[in-house]
Amino acid sequence: MDNADSRFINVELPDGSKVRHPEGTTALQVAQAISGGLARAAVAARVDGRLIDLSTPLTADASIRILTFADREGVEVFRHTSAHLLAQAVLQLFPEARPTIGPPVDEGFYYDFDHAPFSENDLERIETRMLELAAKDQRIERVELTRDQALEMFRDNRYKVEMIQDLPEGQISAYRQGEFIDLCRGPHLPSTAAIKAIKVLKVAGAYWRGDSRNPQLQRIYAITFPKKEMLKQHLEMLEEAKLRDHRKIGRELELFSFHDEGPGFPFWHNNGMILKEEVVRYWRSVHRREGYQEISTPLILDESLWHRSGHWDHYKKNMYFTSIDERPFAVKPMNCPGGLLVFTSSRHSYRDLPARLAELGTVHRHEMSGVLHGLFRVRCFTQDDAHIYCTTDQLPDEVIGVVRLVFEIYKTFGFSDVRVELSTRPEGRIGSDEIWDRAEGALEHALKSLGIQYELNPGDGAFYGPKIDFHIRDCMGRSWQCGTVQVDFSMPSEERFNAFYEGADGKRHQCVMVHRAILGSLERFIGILLEHHAGKLPLWLSPRQVKVLPVAEAYTDYARAVTKRLADAGLRAHLDDRNETVGKKVREAQLDRYNYQVVVGQREAEQDAVSVRTRGNKQLGALPVAEFIARCLAEIASREITGE
């Protein structure tokens, strides 16, 4: 602050430079001072870590970042405003509808309405009205409300009344555009004019607050963009995604299935088990190399454990319960408490640390049937968990080791585009500022020392510690949050699990506990993997590696001998001795996504060779059987990522 002139404030930009502006300058005016292009693209701002509307005046020195549609948070603001536009359109067309909530989600946004089911024709009318309303350039204004004012304003909507009653006094706001006003914390776009492209996608049923005991609502999904070309590209991507749908690929490759007898529980077939085991075999190999010890903890544990861990308060509604010998038990929704019991079952010296305990633990969580989606959202899944117990001095190096391992594993599976987020201390947290400083410093140091760019999410850490989240981007540009590294002060504390070690001073010290997962959910990761590669898996992962095709019945014995040699060498080879043309069998093998088709006839039999072509129909010509085997084994050993 310039003491000589208190009417001016210093504003720090993302590059570290500072500019002076009159007190009361809005975030939009700061953007205009930087460039007209930035101001036109701006959707909101982050000031001192807090998201604000562009119309918000700045009253003190602050750091600022102008957000556009190119920023993840900018997209969320854009889509949240779009959800209000959707609700406005619905109420104009269907005044009897009762709007509830409308958040942005990965696939765009949705809004839930208490209304009779909407038809396809209704969705078209809603989309048209949204475009009309957006074009009107409606100004969007924030309105601060007292609880009584909010209750009076939304008295005809019991859903809004219920939400207002759950909000703390003094933190209630709404946003108005035209005649429409909606309860919301914001921020939002300055006006509706920025919304240039709209597509209403579908409607589905959803229970109010996800509880089947509550009324079923109509959930309308839609997506919006600031440019029509962006919508066109997105719709093309959706068509490509249909072709790559892992559920479709799972059926075609005979990997897994789902059945009404076990809704939300995947049934793995033989080919799926091959794929799953190859992923696990690689995972185990790198973890042994990195000094992890693998453990396994029970699926069902006493209810008291979940009270002690704190999961009872946060996950009870998503847990399954049973009784054994008249004692209450719970099916584990997470692996952490069991892992802590393993660690604390013996005494530890500082010389024993760091202790890295890894677990491929199967967990169960109750999900509503409406959100189940193939392998992406299931009720039973395997987490590639690990928990590291170390001293505070060891924490920075341990985090560096985890981050390196994350990038190595993702690259091996063909994911080189990784976005990283660092989330820091929230308002409601445990632990001293000194401990948080060290934990956040360790995470930040790891990322900076490895030269990794990251987004900062101030205040978005867990109550028990800061975290790093890893988002992989697939070939269609979709982002998937998979890995995480979290520092935990709560579970190792004396009040919970008392995870301690004896220091060099002979005294007891609390361990630092690091939670980390890389694949996240094994099932979900396999679903991502299948869609990323369109089912055309690299040779080392493929359950269908080689198809052997005799050109005529006379060469079936040779083909059978070749198949056996390939299998004896460890390759997954299958013989197709049907009385069909070679051309047809080759095409079918390629559709079945076999990495290689080897054709054998008289010449190959005489030369102890095979004629090889790839999944992409590239002909490699005749190769001696031994040479082909060596080629395949080398490709597998290198875990080469090949498209065809």
> Tens of pLDDT along 259-273?
999 999 999 999 999
End-to-end CA distance of the chain: 61
One-letter-per-residue 3-state SS of 494-553? CCCCCCEEECCCCCEEECEEEEEEEEEEHHHHHHHHHHHCCCCCCCCCCCCCEEEEECCH
> Hey, which residues are catalytic here?
336, 365, 383, 385, 387, 467, 515
Confidence of residue 643 (pLDDT cuts 50, 70, 90): low
Cis check: omega of the bond before 538, within 30 degrees of 0: no
One-letter-per-residue 3-state SS of 561-610? HHHHHHHHCCCCEEECCCCCCHHHHHHHHHHCCCCEEEEECHHHHHHCEE
Q: Tokens standing for 281?
A: 């075999």
Residues with Cβ < 8 Å from 403, sequence gap 6 or more?
Answer: 446, 447, 450, 452, 468, 485
Cα–Cα distance measured from residue 81 to residue 298, given in angstroms and rounded to the nearest whole number = 46
Identify the pLDDT of residue 6.
58
CATH T-level fold of 251-297+335-532: BirA Bifunctional Protein; domain 2 (3.30.930)
> Tens of pLDDT along 106-122?
889 999 999 999 999 99
Identify the pLDDT of residue 135.
96
Residue from 130, 161, 143, 142 nearest 77 by CA: 142
* Phi then psi dihedrals of residue 274, to 5 deg: -60, -50
Identify the pLDDT of residue 335.
94
Confidence of residue 20 (pLDDT cuts 50, 70, 90): very high
Domain borders along the chain are 8-68, 73-238, 251-297+335-532, 546-637
CATH T-level fold of 8-68: Ubiquitin-like (UB roll) (3.10.20)
Is residue 603 pLDDT above 70, yes or no? yes
Identify the pLDDT of residue 434.
87
| β-sheet bridge partners, residue 516 | 386, 485
CA 433 to chain centre: 30
Q: Are 112 and 100 in contact (CB under 8 A)?
A: yes
Residue 460: Cβ-neighbour burial (10 angstroms; 0-12, 13-18, 19+): middle
Is residue 343 pLDDT above 70, yes or no? yes
- Mean pLDDT lowest among 171-180, 184-193, 364-373, 519-528: 364-373
Identify the pLDDT of residue 459.
84
> Tens of pLDDT along 30-48?
999 999 999 999 999 999 8
Quote the crossing angle between the two packed helices 522-532 and 270-289, to the nearest 10°: 110
> Tens of pLDDT along 230-240?
999 999 998 99
Greater pLDDT, 465 or 549: 549
pTM of the model: 0.83
> The domain 73-238 is classified under which CATH number: 3.30.420.10, 3.40.50.1820, 1.20.1250.20, 3.30.980.10?
3.30.980.10
Mean pLDDT of the chain: 93
Cα–Cα distance measured from residue 500 to residue 511, given in angstroms and rounded to the nearest whole number = 5
Tell me, yes or no, if the two domains 251-297+335-532 and 546-637 fold the same way: no
Identify the pLDDT of residue 460.
84
Cis check: omega of the bond before 187, within 30 degrees of 0: yes
- Looking from the CA of 288 toward its CB, the CA atoms found within 13 Å total 6
Is residue 250 pLDDT above 60, yes or no? yes
pLDDT, mean of residues 491-501:
91
The percentage of residues in the chain with a pLDDT greater than 70, rounded to a whole number, is 98
Domain 546-637 listed as CATH 3.40.50.800:
yes
Is residue 2 pLDDT above 60, yes or no? no
